Amino acid sequence: MERDVHLLSEAEAGVPGARAYFWDDAWVSLGRFQRPERVFSGTVPELWVQRPTGGRAVQHGQDVCLSVAVPLTTQDTIRSLRPIYERLTSPILAAFQSMGIDAVIANDDTGADGGISADCFALRTGYDVTDRATGKKLGGCALRVTSQAALLQSSFPFGPMESEIQGYVGVFTPFDPAKVIEAFGIAVERVLSTELVGKTI
């Protein structure tokens, strides 16, 4: 999380960047406004961390995380969040599309299980990445916008996981994470080349 915070700080200084990473254990990340005692079904586990972005809890360990941060102009920050979100997710969508997965932004809100849950994957929102053909949620995305920059954090599960999150759903689509990371790097350079100018981390 500190590295993603650094991405945002660098973007605020005018230097955009992106990164892809895995987790070395079964960690849970919470949105910046979530409280752990309200998220976990039992005792609060040791392996959890607070994200700098919002959103719900995400189980990690069998997922690939993709983050993008870019500087913003005054004109960007007075507009709605949607154009900023679309700008930051564009290399992610391009990466999956290059692999034959028709990833799109959901554009609607649909409860996945009809209940109340602290789990990101229990709900599909208009800011999630989904499969156009099936409508299935591929990944959860969370945004942080400051007066100078924006940070997008995303998680794409590729295998089954267990979790201590209340109401955990565990939605995932099998894919090769190494290929996604490679495609993401290429897409970042191509789609955001005018902003990132080879600064991918």
Per-residue pLDDT tens for 3-50?
Answer: 999 999 999 999 899 999 999 999 999 999 999 999 998 889 899 999
Residue 201: inside a domain:
no
Residue 199: inside a domain:
no
Residue 85: inside a domain:
yes
Of 55-59, 126-130, 197-201, give the lowest mean pLDDT range: 197-201
Catalytic residues: 120
Residue 164: inside a domain:
yes
In the prediction, which pLDDT does 187 show?
A: 92
Indicate if the pLDDT at residue 178 is higher than 60: yes
Query: What is the C-alpha R_g of the chain?
Result: 16
Q: Which amino acid is at 152?
A: L
Nearest Cα to 64, choosing from 185, 181, 183? 181
Residue 198: inside a domain:
no
Indicate if the pLDDT at residue 109 is higher than 90: no
Nearest Cα to 188, choosing from 148, 152, 164, 161? 152
Query: Mean per-residue pLDDT for 103-126?
Result: 75
In the prediction, which pLDDT does 116 show?
A: 64
Residue 200: inside a domain:
no
The model carries a pTM of 0.90
Of 23-32, 66-75, 85-94, 97-106, give the lowest mean pLDDT range: 66-75
Give the total number of structural domains in the chain: 1
Domain of 138, in residue numbers: 2-192
Residue 197: inside a domain:
no
Residue 91: inside a domain:
yes
Domain at 63, CATH number: 3.30.930.10
In the prediction, which pLDDT does 199 show?
A: 46
Output the CA angle 164-167-170, nearest 5 degrees. 75
Nearest Cα to 16, choosing from 139, 170, 199? 199
